[in-house]
Structure 1
């Protein structure tokens, strides 16, 4: 009987511990160095002046800020894709903003060329806490490396890649 009570208390203790995670903590999973090196190489090669092509997974998702920039610059008239709604918590409300998803490799390259246009010098780095907080607020999954930020003179983008070094998400921050 005492053994059953101890087992019960042990299970309750484990359950309480597992539910004690802070909901506002960013779920960030680090990748092996070789995966990060492959991702960096992909991004750097894609930024070469003569290349301007991007190694993308099957689908490229464009975040709401970047999609607004694309619309303002008229590139959206050349692009198809499907709408992606982002539910973003801002203060005590949820704001719904629209992004876009693309499967066509020509569109992927058009989007990448748009980023590279007039943006020759850049700095590639890991995202800081503020950037991770924003990104985590618009996605519905844990953040897993490789993930990088490209800082140009006039704009900054967060680039999320899969384990093969292929880009699947771009957002302007």
Structure 2
């Protein structure tokens, strides 16, 4: 059995986006239980020189469907706009990414193989093939931001564990 580019990217992104959405639910419940404000959690950081929880969640969407859109256009430039300032806004970002990923035709993703893809940020330009961009840049960034969002919630005292991060596993059925 061969595995396609689509298979290596999209199902796992959907899995982890779902788990990050569930983390938002747990963060919201934590705020209700403890009296912490949404702003406290959304602006929480692991370290002063790291970006906050809200940014991490925004980047989960950015490095999933945003990366696909970048490959479609041939150039990916990160969205440097602000992140949503409430759980509803963060959730909406994840819902939009999920809906867009679910609409992708697997043949489109597989058709990206060999196409040029350029990462562009300020003066920086890094040339890739589409598959190398998706697998060596976008996907590691996607997991970095999902993990950092998880870690921030753990550091803030939200009761979550590894299975909360993993989300709904893609198990063999039957």
Query: By the TM > 0.5 criterion, same fold?
Result: no
Compare CA radii of gyration and give the structure with the larger one.
1
Q: Which structure ranks higher in relative contact order (CA pairs < 8 Å, sequence separation ≥ 6)?
A: 2
> Between Structure 1 and Structure 2, which shows a larger proportion of helix residues?
2
Please tell me the TM-score bracket, short chain as reference. Answer: under 0.3
